[in-house]
A and B are shown apart, each in its own frame.
Chain A
Amino acid sequence: MALAKEHGLKPIYTSIEGFQEEPELADIVFEATSAKAHQSNAPILKEMGKRAIDLTPAAIGPFFVPAVQEDANSVVELDNVNMVTCGGQATIPMIKAVSDVVGVDYAEIVASISSKSAGIGTRQNIDEFTVTTARAIEQVANVKEGKAIIILNPADPPVLMRNTIHMQLSEDADTHTENILASLEETLKKVQAYVPGYRFKADPVIQGKIVTVSVEVEGNGDFLPTYSGNLDIITSAAVKTGELMADHMMVKEY
């Protein structure tokens, strides 16, 4: 709250009710509480005519992963958009990179995050994390079946966010190997454009129908520690989404 004031922002101490009293303060609301809270806030925001960018796994609005859905036209008109999860933002671009080249029947992601960067919201909603991420893999990355696993690691110093993606292709990778690697490389650059600390942690492994990709996310270290790359990647994605929406709204106004 003090930090917000320092930056000339107006803090509201009374949650959504406080915002209802002064609705002119904002047109776009970033929801960063919990899935449960957003379920009750979402209809109120809609009623108020405000747009919600949801960083919880509530998944009321459609999923949005900026690195993948470059055609933003569909998003800017929505009143509620969901940012999936940190694990989803970190892995879906890579899965899409492969499914653009060859069919992916099954994709499974394992997100390891440091215990210190997993807040109470993540801890008490761990099922929502895995279920929402799996659904988003299917819908956004165009995969028949998705699965997500999350592991909290308490090592000290804290580990950087690490995501491993195992994919089962619809056919042998043989003739597609070069194209898959090129597509992964291209996607890496796209994500790096808004999350500079996003990089391969191991060389991609391609064996028969199985492709394994491992990425690490080092946070910017500006507001949060560098081990909180998981928080950076979803907030960066949300900011990018907010910018798209705001641009669109300004164009409409003038």
Chain B
Amino acid sequence: MDIIEATHGDGLGGSSIQYGFSKEDEKTIITTAVQHAKQAKIAVLLLPGVGTIEHLKRAHSYGASVVRVATHCTEADVSEQHIRAAKELGMDTVGFLMMAHRTSAENLLEEAKKMQDYGADTIYVTDSAGALTMNEVRERIRLFKENLSAKIGFHGHNNLSLGVANSIAAIEEGADRIDTSLAGMGAGAGNTATEQLVAVMNKMGIDHNVDLYQSMDAAEDVMKPMMKRPVQIDPLSLTLGYTGVYSSFLLFAERAGKEYDVDPRDILTRLSEMGAVGGQEDWIIGVAQELAKEKAKATV
């Protein structure tokens, strides 16, 4: 394993009522990771609009050496200040284009070029909704490979059960970095599971540096006991991938569905129609109230 990310799911400064509070503060999370990592570099996530350059400087002082600067796939220009600041700090700097299914491959490339111009060393195709299918991943990675000098990464979610398949497709098209998590721990139906991807890469003879049994054991013995809710493909997480909704919306939609007695799948579908992007968890309550009102009207 080359890089380990240690940050709130919505990045530095993400601990909030909107996204949920972190159990530990940023300093503890980052310094603990830095102290225990043997050869892996420690990364942080930064969403311009949520976290600031001040947050980044602090994270860097705690020992983080990689930063992933994340924007919605069509809004790369909000990352200019942050990517430049990260380069000035001497960090391994990544541009992270989220919800990559929401724009064409050609347009995604244009946004990637902006991040490359600002100085990003690596640009990611980030499938935040787990909504891309294999050909769509191939097309995006291939265009990046043909037109960018930066390294290329892929971040998948397993909502359509394509986490491993999409990651393999990305590798075959020349991706340099692939995101995984132990036992697939992550939003929605989770991310690509480390141990699963390692097993498939072994069978396909693709080179890497992760031990299969150790990753299996870490997933089983360390990660799974910490997980409150099983990360799985169920009607809700499948709906995320099917309608292309940001994976972190799952828990909020589930809660709002219960509270307002509406089908959480309808909440997600409505959010998809409205074009909600990552970070707009606050829209969920409004949609649930709206659906409840419509339901009350229909039954009168």
**Which residue numbers of A lie inside 8 Å of B, CB to CB?**
106, 108, 110, 112, 115, 120, 123-127, 129-131, 147, 149-156, 159, 162, 164, 166, 168, 201-203, 205, 210, 212, 214
Contact = CB atoms under 8 A, between A and B. Distances in A.
A130 B49 CA distance: 7
Given A159-B274, A164-B18, A214-B286, A124 B80 contact: yes
24 contacts: A110-B18, A112-B282, A123-B78, A124-B77, A125-B81, A126-B49, A126-B78, A129-B49, A130-B52, A131-B52, A149-B49, A152-B49, A152-B277, A153-B280, A154-B75, A154-B102, A159-B274, A162-B283, A166-B16, A166-B18, A201-B286, A202-B285, A210-B17, A212-B285
A154 B18 contact: no
The listed residue with most B CB atoms (<10 A of its CB), out of A112, A127, A212, is: A127
A152 B16 contact: no
Contacts of B78: 123, 126, 152
Given A123-B80, A149-B18, 18 more contacts: A108-B16, A108-B17, A112-B283, A123-B78, A126-B78, A127-B52, A130-B50, A149-B49, A149-B50, A150-B49, A151-B277, A151-B280, A152-B49, A159-B275, A166-B16, A201-B286, A212-B285, A214-B285
Interface residues of B, number: 31
Contacts of A123: 75, 77-78, 80
Contacts of B275: 153-156, 159
A168 B17 CA distance: 9
B269 to A, nearest CB: 15
B72 interface: yes
Given A112-B280, A115-B74, A202-B289, A155 B274 contact: yes
Interface of B: 13, 16-18, 48-50, 52-54, 72, 74-75, 77-78, 80-82, 102, 274-280, 282-283, 285-286, 289
- Which 4 A-B pairs give the minimum distances between C-beta atoms? A155-B275, A164-B282, A202-B286, A166-B17
Contacts of A152: 49, 72, 75, 78, 277
Given A153-B277, A202-B285, A115 B16 contact: no
Contact of A126 (B48, B277, B286): B48
Contacts of A154: 72, 74-75, 102, 275, 277
Contacts of A124: 77, 80-81
Contacts of B280: 110, 112, 151, 153
A150 B274 CA distance: 18
A153 B17 contact: no
A149 B8 CA distance: 15
Contacts of B18: 108, 110, 149, 164, 166
A126 B81 contact: yes
A145 to B, nearest CB: 11
A4 to B, nearest CB: 28
A126 B81 CA distance: 9
A48 B165 CA distance: 66
A124 B77 CA distance: 7
A103 B277 CA distance: 33
A100 to B, nearest CB: 21
A147 B18 CA distance: 11
A1 B286 CA distance: 41
